Amino acid sequence: METVGDERLRASNSLKQLEEAALMLEDLSKSNESKLLSAGFPSRLSVILNSINSIPSRDDAERLLSAGVSMWNSIISIDEPNLEEETMKALVRVRHVAVDCMYMSTTALGGISARYNIDDLTLLKFYTACGQKYAAEIGDMDCAEVCFAKAKEFASKAVNEAHMLGPEKLDLSRAMFDLLIGRAECCWERGDSETAERYVNDARTYLHDLPGEFEFLATVEYNFGLFAYQEKQTDRALKWLRRSIETRCDQKNQLRNNVKQAKTMRLAGVCLLALRKYEESWNMMKHAEETHHDPIGSYLLLKLSIITKKTNASDLLLEIIEDSESTIDVCVAAVSLFGDAQRVSEAADGYKALYEKFDGDPRTQACVIGPRYFEALAAIGKIDKALMVLETCSSYISRLGEMNEWKTEVPKAIEIDDDNGQDQVSQFLRWSALLLSIGSAQADRKDFKSSALLLTKALSLARTAKDVSARRASSSAQPYPIPENVVLANEARICRLASSCALCSISEKKQSIKMMERNSEELEKDDKLMLELSLEHARRSKELEPDDYSPRLLLFRTHLIAGNYTEAASELENSSTEIRTFDAGALAEAACAARDVGSTTAVIAVLRCVIAMDTSILLKTLDSSINSPPHGFYGTVLLACINLQLRNMSGREGNDSATVESEDCDADIDAVQDLFHTLESGLQGIKQLGVDVAFDKSTIPEETIAYLVNVSWNAGRDAGTKMRYVLWDSFFAVCYEFTMFQQENIDVFQTRRMSKLMSACANIENPKSDTSNYEKARVLLQDARRDSQKMRLLSSADDEDPLGGVLLMLEARCCTGCGDLEGLSKIIETSMHQEVGAGVLEQLAAVCYHFSHGKSHDSQISARCADLTTALLSKASDRRLCEEDKDINALAITMREHLGIELSRGASTARSYNVFRKIAGVVLEYGDQYPVDERRWLVAVGWDRAQMHKQLGKIAEAKRWCELVLKVVADSIQLSTYRPRLDAFMKSVSYDT
């Protein structure tokens, strides 16, 4: 148990440590080495202070008070701006320990110290200041509330001391005001706005003694309103802002700040604007401007006038632009309000005025105002004026780069523009990206000439930026970062668009056949420029993407318009068939041009161009003025192309037959693939156009579709004969799709079913097939089954489907290819319960047998497959025995396979014997009809098993096998030579028994 002496000793040691800590803090304050203050220092002081349960004497209390005062004063000296965060936190917590020391010591001294005048009012101030530090500097609201609560205790004592008059009362009022404001701010941060409002109301009661604090209280109320507005609590924010305005307007406020008052009114006006109280908002903002002018206030009034559609909006904009206090960011934001309100013409006028205001500042014109002015002019269709602004700004940027003026100090007004890069390369890239955006938009608006010019300039500026970057990188000793160039990253696509727009800008009459026959010199000047641009961009696109077909088409059409038919045809030779855009009239001329130069290959290439187009491309040509092709045009071209290809493949002129006989079709594999691509493209075109649009009614579309079905079928059959598995599958897939255009009947469903079966066979038979191919074949077989069901619904006969067994067999092979043993088991179970022929069961047994011998299968899978195989063979033999016209040879083979598998898998003696006995019974029933070779094999097997059992000492089993063998040979002359040996064996086993 601790004695009084021990307690005094511990208190004395603690006091000594606190005094040493105070001295250390005093030294730190003098040396400005606050960073040496460790993060754990305040915690150690708190532990030391809490270890003092009682203060033994007044001298010790004076010592503790002195240590607390010293620490407090040292902290005030050390505390300064720009301290490290950890140091700042430590100082706040040491401040708390210091005031706790003063509180503990003054309590022990009874409130009277011989050295210091520390009373309740002083402690109120100190705890309030400590709480404010916790809240403002380190955001610890819990500790702040602890300090405020302690301060409240001293506040109650101080208020109850009625003798306070004059300066002392004023001092108390200020302390209470600070405490209540601190608690209000703390409650606000903790989300308790109602309590915060109560504390602010309590603080307001002290203003009659503190006329200088009206401004401070108004600022606090403004901050609460601002925070509420930022949290989208508009009604609450407006309430606080109005209170702030009222506080600052109080007659006793001798320090009224009109700048802050106007700022508060503007924010209140913004809240009213958000609440759609437009008239109140206008009056509030107008009052704010009368109180103190600010360009932001003018901007807000302009915004409100645009929203409420006041007639003086344009005048307000000019006032903002002409205001000497308006920075460029305010001016730009003000003009942007008109653009956001879709008043683009007024926005363009505003940018014009702003552009002229900064006439002597080429950097601001080129980097800040120019791009926006250009965009506004383009939006209202003044492209010529926009291009003039572009040229001026481009020259400014180039000149500034040559004069190296980018390295000079950048005005603050330009820095405000976040989108603006301060490097010459960045400006070129910014302009090129803007031109790309506007040029693309102009193309959407069908203003093709403007689009071509803008895109050409975008590419030019992007390439200039690339060249400047390359020069800097080569001349710089330090690594020079190459900025992202979005235009050149998509250069090929942009070149194609620019070429297309240049072509489309040429009037419809100049694309007529009559105009094409004229020399290019006769074209108008603008059209010649557009042709040059089209050639330039198409060639560049072809250079960037030589495998893309679109640039070749653009070059073809440009040559065609210029009358250069040979060049046009050459662009289509030896090209792929991936087409993105073209028009039917130009393709028709291409076919004529290719025919004139005697190039059949080019004719086919042109025709395949049309076929490869889908509906959206065919009907939406490069030039919107060209009408869509007439009905039947697409089908005519498709049939012409197919006939040409079949003729080339067969080598017979004029052969329009749908058949592709194998003996006549030794053409190169590329020709066959080209035929498939033509059929596939034609299929897509017919799907999207519709049969009625694709084919002329005079051609009888039904017969044409049947022709395409036959072409696909025969081509697929030929591919299957030559084991071209991919083409085999592809042709029959196209064949199936073509049948979807035919009227449904039994013949059509039969064609669909057989197409699916043939595609499935191609995937199954392919040696390179993997799991995905077998899964695809499964889906195809499921589709074939559905077509079979539809056929049965249309057919009046109830006969079994002749292809049912084939489907089962193919599905079984799919299961083995996928490694799906469960699926295979279900198929076999189904087959054994259906009226499936013995031949199908035997084929299923073969599938199971081969699956059981897979390299990656474990013993369990092999055993399961063996069970399925024997079950199928047993069922197959039963089915053959039930047939009226029995095929004894086939039956013998099936039974032999069954017994062979039972013996090879090491089946039980009973199972093997039962199968042997079953075969023996059939032999006895049919006698010499049963193949003699099979009977000899059966005798050999029985003899072998009998000997084996005898050697194993299973005499009864050996005798049983031998007896069955004797029955088989008993009445057979061909097998009589075996009888003596069998009789001798029977005697030996009888003797052993």
Tell me which of 653 and 918 has the higher pLDDT.
918
Residue 330 lies in a domain: yes
Q: What distance separates the 2 farthest-apart alpha carbons in the chain?
A: 149
183 token code pair: 């608690």
Give the type of residue at 458. A
| Residue 951: pLDDT over 80 | yes
Tell me which of 10 and 583 has the higher pLDDT.
10
pLDDT digits (tens, 9 = 90+) for 371-410: 888 888 888 888 888 888 888 888 888 877 655 554 444 4
Residue 854 lies in a domain: no
| Residue 5: pLDDT over 80 | no
Question: What is the C-alpha to C-alpha distance for residues 215 and 250, in angstroms, rounded to an integer?
Answer: 10
Tell me which of 259 and 475 has the higher pLDDT.
259
pLDDT band (50, 70, 90) for residue 104: confident
| Residue 979: pLDDT over 60 | yes
Q: What is the DSSP letter of 800?
A: P
Beta-carbon-side half-sphere exposure of residue 608 (alpha carbons within 13 Å): 25
pLDDT band (50, 70, 90) for residue 857: low
| Residue 6: pLDDT over 70 | no
Computed over every residue of the chain, the mean pLDDT equals: 77
| Residue 587: pLDDT over 60 | no
Give the type of residue at 266. R
CA 964 to chain centre: 76
| Residue 915: pLDDT over 80 | yes
pLDDT band (50, 70, 90) for residue 39: low
Q: What is the DSSP letter of 118?
A: -
Q: How far apart, in Å, are the Cα atoms of 722 and each of 258, 672, 768?
A: 96, 12, 16
Q: Is this structure's pTM higher than 0.75? A: no
Sequence-separated (6 or more) residues with CB below 8 Å from residue 567: 555, 559
Q: How far apart, in Å, are the Cα atoms of 555 and each of 182, 531, 564, 565, 597?
A: 77, 10, 10, 11, 18
Residue 366 lies in a domain: yes
Residue 944 lies in a domain: no
Using an 8 Å Cβ cutoff, are 216 and 247 in contact?
A: no
Residue 855 lies in a domain: no
| Residue 477: pLDDT over 70 | no
How confident is the model at residue 847, as a pLDDT? 78
159 token code pair: 């208020």
- Exposed / middle / buried, residue 515 (Cβ in 10 Å: 0-12, 13-18, 19+): middle
Residue 58 lies in a domain: no
Question: What is the C-alpha to C-alpha distance for residues 333 and 788, in angstroms, rounded to an integer?
Answer: 71
pLDDT above 70: percentage of residues in the chain: 81
How confident is the model at residue 657, as a pLDDT? 44
Q: Please list the helix, strand and coil fractions of the chain in percent, rounded to the nearest 5, in that order.
A: 75, 0, 25
Question: What is the C-alpha to C-alpha distance for residues 237 and 41, in angstroms, rounded to an integer?
Answer: 42
How confident is the model at residue 804, as a pLDDT? 74
Which has the closest alpha carbon to 175: 140, 139, 210?
Answer: 210
How confident is the model at residue 651, as a pLDDT? 61
| Residue 164: pLDDT over 60 | no
How confident is the model at residue 422, as a pLDDT? 46
Give the type of residue at 948. M
Tell me which of 4 and 913 has the higher pLDDT.
913
User: What is the total residue count of the chain?
Assistant: 993
Question: DSSP letter string over 518-569?
Answer: S-GGGS-HHHHHHHHHHHHHHHHHHHH-TT-SHHHHHHHHHHHHHT-HHHHH
pLDDT digits (tens, 9 = 90+) for 734-775: 888 888 888 888 888 888 888 888 888 888 888 888 888 888
Residue 360 lies in a domain: yes
Using an 8 Å Cβ cutoff, are 345 and 380 in contact?
A: yes
Domain count, the chain: 1
For 513, the 3-state DSSP assignment is helix
- Exposed / middle / buried, residue 699 (Cβ in 10 Å: 0-12, 13-18, 19+): middle
How confident is the model at residue 627, as a pLDDT? 43
How confident is the model at residue 421, as a pLDDT? 41
CA angle at residue 752 from 657 to 750, to 5 degrees? 90
| Residue 916: pLDDT over 80 | yes
- Exposed / middle / buried, residue 257 (Cβ in 10 Å: 0-12, 13-18, 19+): middle
The residue written with tokens 């460790």 in the block is: 38
pLDDT digits (tens, 9 = 90+) for 402-454: 555 544 444 444 443 333 344 788 888 888 888 888 888 888 888 888 888 99
pLDDT above 90: percentage of residues in the chain: 1
pLDDT band (50, 70, 90) for residue 616: very low
Residue 984 lies in a domain: no
Which has the closest alpha carbon to 776: 741, 745, 811, 727?
Answer: 811
Of the ranges 100-104, 441-445, 786-790, which is most confident?
441-445
Give, for 349, the enclosing helix (H) or strand (E). Answer: helix 344-357
Question: DSSP letter string over 374-394?
Answer: HHHHHHTT-HHHHHHHHHHHH
How many other C-beta atoms lie within 10 A of the C-beta of residue 456?
Answer: 19
| Residue 295: pLDDT over 80 | yes
Which has the closest alpha carbon to 195: 148, 156, 143, 162?
Answer: 148
Region 819-848 average pLDDT = 78
Q: Spell out the long-range contacts of 848-856 with Cβ–Cβ below 8 A and sequence spacing 24 or more.
A: 848/812, 848/816, 848/824, 848/872, 849/901, 850/816, 851/816, 851/821, 851/824, 854/816
- Exposed / middle / buried, residue 483 (Cβ in 10 Å: 0-12, 13-18, 19+): middle
Which has the closest alpha carbon to 439: 390, 366, 367?
Answer: 390
Give the type of residue at 781. L
Region 1-21 average pLDDT = 66
The residue written with tokens 């002597």 in the block is: 360
Sign of CA dihedral 137, 143, 145, 146: negative
For 151, the 3-state DSSP assignment is helix
Q: What is the DSSP letter of 742?
A: S
Tell me which of 533 and 517 has the higher pLDDT.
533
pLDDT band (50, 70, 90) for residue 732: confident
Region 485-508 average pLDDT = 83
- Domain span including residue 327: 311-391
pLDDT band (50, 70, 90) for residue 710: very high
Question: What is the C-alpha to C-alpha distance for residues 660 and 613, in angstroms, rounded to an integer?
Answer: 26
